[in-house]
Structure 1
Amino acid sequence: MSLQIVHYPHPTLRHVSKPLTKVDAQLRGWAAEMIELMYEHEGIGLAANQVDLPYRMFVINVTGDPEQPEHERVFLNPVLSKGKGQATMTEGCLSLPDIRGPMIRNTTVRVQAYDLAGNEIDETVDGMLARVIQHETDHLDGILFIDKMSPTEKAEVDDDLYELEMDFQSRQETGDVPSGDAIAARIAELEAHRC
């Protein structure tokens, strides 16, 4: 299976992702493929449900530069706490192409997770790294950055969202995208497979 980035309003984007209980070759392969997709689409982070996988995993490289692989990180089962400070910055999302808006996030946050080697991650991060980790963890909880916009900010992107909705609907009608029931069945099967 070759992974692809799914666009709003694909149902997997609203799915609360399931914690991972094992790391195997398949999971490592998915992580590598996600990193490639992230670079291909000029992103700095990508969550598993953005590639139609219902698991608590995301990949990041805050530089967005494939020539700097030392900044690549994979987070499994992240838990955020101790958020402090607030800053507003414009955000976008690979699942919401061409849509951007101001987003308030904590400036520092503690992240506890695991990497692909099974090592525990427990760090307090700040700046862009903190922002990306918060954005990607939201994805794992089925939350998109548009959900956190003020009504005025959201009104400014409503036409763009409508276009994405119409595109998704037409792609379902032509069979390019599976039906909602088929997507739900696939999610359930993937979740059962990794228990």
Structure 2
Amino acid sequence: MSLEIIYYPHPTLRYVSKPIKRVDAELRKIADEMLDLMYESKGVGLAANQVDLPLRMFVANPTGEKGSGEEFVIVNPEVSRPKGSEVGEEGCLSLPGLTGDVIRPKSIRISAFDMKGNPIETTLEGFLARVFLHEIDHLDGTLFFDRMGEHAALELGAGIDELETDFRSKQATGSIPPDDQLIARLADWTNKYC
């Protein structure tokens, strides 16, 4: 299986991902591929539903560089104890070229699992907390511009419209299946891992 990043408004980006109940060699391989794809795309995080998989998993490395910094593969994350708030610029590999300021907590508590089923309980702050929250939003079907003020989100309007026009024209020519078919394919994955 070869993974590709899907672009807005692909319906899987709005799908609420399902918790993973089992990890196997294929899922570990998918996580490795997601990390490679994230680095190739110059990203710092990538959620499973950004590669058209409805699974509650994401990968991250705040440096965005392979072999530098710490790599994370996070399964079934939950957030608690948000503290403070700060504004930071965010972009998204599924919305190429678009960025905007998003208010997020300065620190959060994360409860999750790694690929071996070991529990992760940690407090994150600053940029790493922002990366995790951005990816967890993806798993909940939320995009960064949903968190922006109305005026700021309007500034992205032309770029969002362009992505939507491009996606719908590909559907019209048959190079991308209709939305209902795209969503129907997700059941195979949820049946296997969730």
TM-score by length of 1: 0.97
Deviation, structure 1 residue 189: 2.1
Deviation, structure 1 residue 55: 0.4
For residue 111 of structure 1, what is the aligned residue in structure 2? 110
Deviation, structure 1 residue 193: 2.1
Q: Distance in 2 between matches of 1:169 and 1:25?
A: 35
Question: Which sections of structure 1, spanning at least 5 residues, go unmatched?
Answer: none
For residue 63 of structure 2, what is the aligned residue in structure 1? 63
Question: Per the alignment, in what secondary structure is the counterpart of residue 81 of structure 1?
Answer: strand
Q: Distance in 2 between matches of 1:58 and 1:178?
A: 25
For residue 16 of structure 1, what is the aligned residue in structure 2? 16
What code does the residue aligned with 1:131 have? R
Q: Deviations over 1:140-162 (max 9, x none)?
A: 00000011111110110101000
Q: Distance in 1 between matches of 2:24 and 2:49?
A: 18
For residue 86 of structure 1, what is the aligned residue in structure 2? 85
Deviation, structure 1 residue 67: 2.6
Q: Distance in 2 between matches of 1:90 and 1:23?
A: 34
Q: Distance in 2 between matches of 1:184 and 1:131?
A: 28
Q: Distance in 2 between matches of 1:121 and 1:155?
A: 38
What code does the residue aligned with 1:73 have? F
Q: Distance in 1 between matches of 2:100 and 2:17?
A: 25
Question: Which sections of structure 2, spanning at least 5 residues, go unmatched?
Answer: none
TM-score by length of 2: 0.98
Q: Deviations over 1:88-147 (max 9, x none)?
A: 011000000000000000010000000011110000110111000000000000000011
Q: Identity percentage over the alignment?
A: 52
For residue 144 of structure 1, what is the aligned residue in structure 2? 143
Alignment of 1:119-130 (within 5 A): 119-130=118-129
2:30 counterpart of 1:35: no
Number of residues of Structure 1 aligned to a counterpart in Structure 2:
194
Q: Deviations over 1:43-79 (max 9, x none)?
A: 00000000000000000000111131x5111000000
Question: Per the alignment, in what secondary structure is the counterpart of residue 190 of structure 1?
Answer: helix
For residue 75 of structure 1, what is the aligned residue in structure 2? 74
What code does the residue aligned with 1:5 have? I
What code does the residue aligned with 1:111 have? I
